Structure 1
Amino acid sequence: ARMRPWSRHGWAMLLGVQAWSAAAIAWAAAGGHHAEFNLMDELFRWTNFIILAVVLYVVLAKVLPRVLQDHRQKIQQAIDEAQAGRVEAQRLLQENPPKTANLQQELAQIQQQATQEREDMARRLETEAQQLAVRIVAQARLEVERATDRAKQSLREEVAVLTVQIAEEILRHELRDEDQQAIMRRYITRIGELN
């Protein structure tokens, strides 16, 4: 706000104070002694003083309101910024508990999901291990059966060869009963060895 111009009463008071001050200064300068009074010098001094006072008042009337306004604006800006900061801080305080709760909920969900994935993986690995064991046992059983079949086939072939050999030997020789029995015993013994 601009300063109001002084009223006549204000100017009169200012002039009175200045006149009294000037008289006091003159009396002090004269050391209390009577000095020759020069009216022109006194008027010149008073005129200069009044001009200086008016100029000072005009300058202050123009500059001081601007300075005060700038200062007032800075203070208001600081107050506004502080209030905005307080509002922002309150908003953050109000938002943080839900965010913290959401974060804790997300962490709990992640932990639960990780536990579920571990359990699923353990079950899957156990199932795969069981299936692998079943396949290994089935393969081993198949190999044993094949080996047994091969052994039986080999045994049959050996028995057939021995039977043919014995028959050829019997046919080649006219054998007595004792010889035939000895050949049969040898045949049975060899078959037993093959088993």
Structure 2
Amino acid sequence: GSGKSCSGNTILNKKHFLSEASAKSVTLRCQHETEIINGRKVTVVDTPGWDCTELSLQEVEREIQQVLQTLNGPYSFLLVIRVGLVEVEEINKISELRNVLGSSYLEHTTILFTQKDNLEGKSFDSFIQGNADLRELVSRNRNRVHVLNNRDARDRRQVEELLQKIAIMHEENR
């Protein structure tokens, strides 16, 4: 429900991933799709959510591990969090990702906040300031964040900015 599938569609500028409002998890299997974006080959992997309502945590871990073994080349993780009320439990679950992605996964991660329109004119910085646990997560991630409005998917500048941030992170991690 954080907007992973919808964000993948926005990034690739095509509706590859099923994305719909639902009371239960929609994405149950990993799916990857590739498009050329401004001359760059970009592959997006859509995964079940860490708190999937239809799969156990072990099943989600297996899904993600299987797809990670099939990918080559430089990579980046997008940790997708919906703008809104972010619970401490949700933030605490994020540390469990190292079990699947490795202990250094945050070095390869950009936190992607979705539903930017929920800020309703409020600055992103003031949103972050309202939650000490979220501020700590962003700080541990060296402030690598991006805010995306999937309702305005035609605004390709927001995607280009995200891809530029990822390219900078790749350079830093060389």
**TM-score normalized by the length of structure 1:** 0.17
Structure with the bigger percentage of helix: 1
Larger Rg: 1
Normalised to the residue count of structure 2, the TM-score between the two structures is: 0.18
Higher strand proportion: 2
